[in-house]
C-alpha cells in the first residue's frame, strides 16, 4: 500500500472513530431522560446492566430483530384479516 493510500485510509478511519465517539456521547446524554419512565416501574435503570459498547451493540441488534419480526407478524395478520373480509 502506498504512503498516500495509507495516510488516506488512516484519516478515513480516524474520521469514523470521531463520528462514532460523537454519536455515543450524544446517545449517552439522552440516557437519563430515557430511563426516567423505566425507573418509575422498576426503580433501577436497565442500562446500568450494560458494561461495554459491545454489549450495547448486541442489545440493540436484539431489539431491532425483535421489532422487525414483530412488524412482520403484524403485517401477516393484517393481510390475513384483509383477505378474509
23-49: pLDDT as tens digits: 888 877 777 776 666 555 554 556 667
Say if CB 50 and CB 56 are below 8 A apart: yes
Rg (alpha carbons) of the chain, rounded to whole number: 21
The verdict on 34 and 72 lying in the same domain is no
Closest CA to 24 of 60, 63, 53, 55: 53
Instruction: Give yes or no: residues 31 and 62 share one domain.
Output: no
Are both 30 and 2 inside the same structural domain? yes
**Judgement on whether residues 9 and 40 belong to the same structural domain of the protein:** yes
What does the pLDDT look like over 61-73, one tens digit per residue? 898 999 999 998 8
Measured distance CA(77)–CA(82) in Å, rounded:
9
pLDDT at residue 20, rounded to an integer: 83
Task: Categorize the per-residue pLDDT at 22 as very low, low, confident or very high, splitting at 50, 70 and 90.
Answer: confident
Indicate if 3 and 30 belong to the same structural domain: yes
Give the other-Cβ count within 10 Å of 49's Cβ: 9
Rounded to two decimals, what is the model's pTM?
A: 0.41
Tally of domains in the chain:
2
Amino acid at each position: 500500500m502506498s504512503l498516500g493510500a495509507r495516510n488516506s485510509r488512516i484519516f478515513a478511519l480516524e474520521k469514523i472513530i470521531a463520528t462514532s465517539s460523537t454519536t455515543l456521547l450524544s446517545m449517552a446524554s439522552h440516557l437519563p431522560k430515557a430511563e426516567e419512565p423505566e425507573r418509575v416501574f422498576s426503580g433501577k435503570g436497565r442500562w446500568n446492566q450494560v458494561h461495554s459498547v459491545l454489549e450495547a451493540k448486541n442489545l440493540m441488534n436484539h431489539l431491532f430483530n425483535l421489532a422487525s419480526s414483530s412488524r412482520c407478524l403484524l403485517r401477516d395478520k393484517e393481510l390475513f384479516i384483509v383477505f378474509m373480509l
